């Protein structure tokens, strides 16, 4: 595929994003914090975008904007006027820590350029409190913070004993299933629409996200290999929720995303980064590789190849290009899976969704789709996330691998 269309669309996105800076409107709605300095919906996401645009195209405008936005965010944190009011990854100080870690590792800034005091200690204490209160999920809970601490471990001051404490706290919250697996009560205070006592299996808000980070900690030697048995018990629970598909009966999904007594029958879920079968695919693959279990890798491949056959709206519920639950997220996931497995089906799926992304994006830009939704500058559900996927594609042709995927667990 020629990069020219990619580059043209990236230039159009850049024209939209260059003048943007988020200001929270507290009179608008209760999610105003998300539109301030947050990572997933605010100015930190724009920092990530401009930094990567600079990495690929050498744009001094983007370099200067990334630095300006970052400096403004840090100043607001220091003087208490910012919106990073807690320690979540999505809209708190763990998100700031994650971005700083990426920029330091990318040699964009130096460790001496930023001084955030005892941030890691505060994140650690907050994560323990959240785990104890059944708020362990990735996006808005404890394990997004744990993910930051894990990624920052090379430059941070935390040793294995800190991560051991965190996982021991998680183990204390494990609920044993009659089938031999374990799960967690993950009612999230930020997402009250999920039924109380439901069991969320997703990357974004559930068990697969927690398990994926646990496996990362094992791989990096930040926790002992004795925790492999703990990881395997979580895997057993996930396996118990996997069923066969039958396209002839319009049953496209191997697993639901939420398990609850009030949810009956088989339901199809979206094909996406945030929830659905692809969460099971990447997590089971990770588990198989970490635990050296070929049967888990085979199960991951079985489910994964099934997902590559889901192409239309009825089978995917995909209607736009955003990263969270749109086509660009699928491009990135299938590219990740192809790099890990070298299965041709994943490369075919990646190329299909890349073509779909380019066609949809052209239409969206022509109709101001994201601007009208007031999401143009959001990393998770707006143009920066789409652009990062396309920038990674251009980067490949230049021999560059961008590191922004660490934010979303996939790198």
Per-residue pLDDT reduced to its tens digit, 82-129: 889 799 999 999 999 999 999 999 999 988 777 777 899 999 999 999
Alpha-carbon dihedral of residues 382, 387, 390, 391, nearest 10 degrees? -150
Distance CA 173, CA 220 (A): 24
Q: Write out the E strands in 57-189.
A: 175-176, 182-183
Q: Please give the structure tokens belonging to residue 351.
A: 């190329």
DSSP letter (8 states) at residue 251:
B
Taking 90 as the threshold, does the pLDDT of residue 320 lie above it?
yes
Q: Is residue 281 predicted with pLDDT exceeding 90?
A: yes
pTM score: 0.94
How does residue 75 score in pLDDT terms, banded at 50, 70 and 90? very high
Confidence band, pLDDT 50/70/90 cuts, at residue 31: low
- In DSSP notation, 139-157 reads SSSHHHHHHHHHHTTTTS-
User: In 3D, which of 381, 378, 386 has the Cα closest to residue 353?
Assistant: 386
């Amino acid at each position: 595929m020629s990069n020219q269309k990619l580059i043209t669309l990236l230039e159009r996105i850049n024209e939209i994003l260059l003048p943007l800076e988020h200001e929270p409107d507290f009179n608008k709605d209760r999610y105003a914090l998300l539109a301030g300095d947050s990572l997933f919906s605010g100015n930190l996401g724009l920092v990530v975008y401009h930094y990567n645009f600079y990495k690929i195209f050498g744009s001094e405008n983007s370099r200067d904007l990334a630095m300006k936005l970052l400096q403004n965010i840090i100043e607001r944190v220091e003087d208490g006027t910012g919106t990073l009011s807690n320690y979540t990854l999505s809209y708190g100080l763990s998100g700031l820590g994650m971005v700083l870690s990426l920029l330091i590792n990318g040699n964009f800034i130096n460790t001496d350029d930023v001084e955030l005091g005892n941030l890691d200690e505060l994140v650690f204490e907050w994560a323990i409190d959240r785990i104890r209160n059944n708020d362990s999920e990735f996006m808005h809970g404890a394990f997004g913070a744990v993910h930051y601490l894990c990624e920052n471990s090379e430059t941070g001051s935390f040793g294995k004993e800190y991560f051991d404490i965190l996982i021991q706290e998680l183990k204390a919250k494990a609920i044993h299933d009659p089938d031999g697996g374990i799960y967690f009560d993950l009612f999230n205070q930020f997402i009250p629409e999920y039924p109380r006592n439901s069991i969320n299996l997703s990357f974004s808000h559930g068990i697969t996200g927690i398990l994926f980070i646990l496996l990362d900690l094992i791989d990096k030697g930040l926790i002992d290999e004795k925790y492999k048995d703990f990881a395997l018990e979580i895997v057993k629970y996930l396996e118990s929720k996997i069923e066969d598909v039958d396209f002839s009966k319009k049953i496209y999904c191997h697993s639901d995303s939420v398990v609850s007594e009030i949810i009956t029958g088989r339901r199809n879920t979206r094909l996406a980064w945030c929830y659905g079968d692809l969460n099971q695919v990447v997590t089971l693959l990770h588990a198989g590789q970490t635990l050296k279990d070929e049967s888990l890798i085979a199960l991951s491949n079985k489910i994964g190849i099934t997902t590559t056959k889901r192409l239309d709206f009825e089978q995917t519920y995909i209607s736009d290009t955003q990263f969270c639950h749109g086509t660009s997220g699928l491009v990135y996931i299938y590219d990740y899976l192809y790099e890990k497995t070298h299965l041709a089906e994943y490369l075919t799926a990646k190329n299909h969704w890349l073509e779909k992304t380019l066609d949809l994006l052209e239409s969206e830009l022509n109709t101001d789709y994201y601007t009208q939704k007031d999401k143009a500058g959001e990393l998770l559900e707006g143009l920066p996330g789409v652009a990062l996927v396309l920038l990674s594609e251009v980067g490949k042709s230049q021999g560059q691998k961008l590191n922004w995927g660490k934010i979303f667990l996939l790198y």
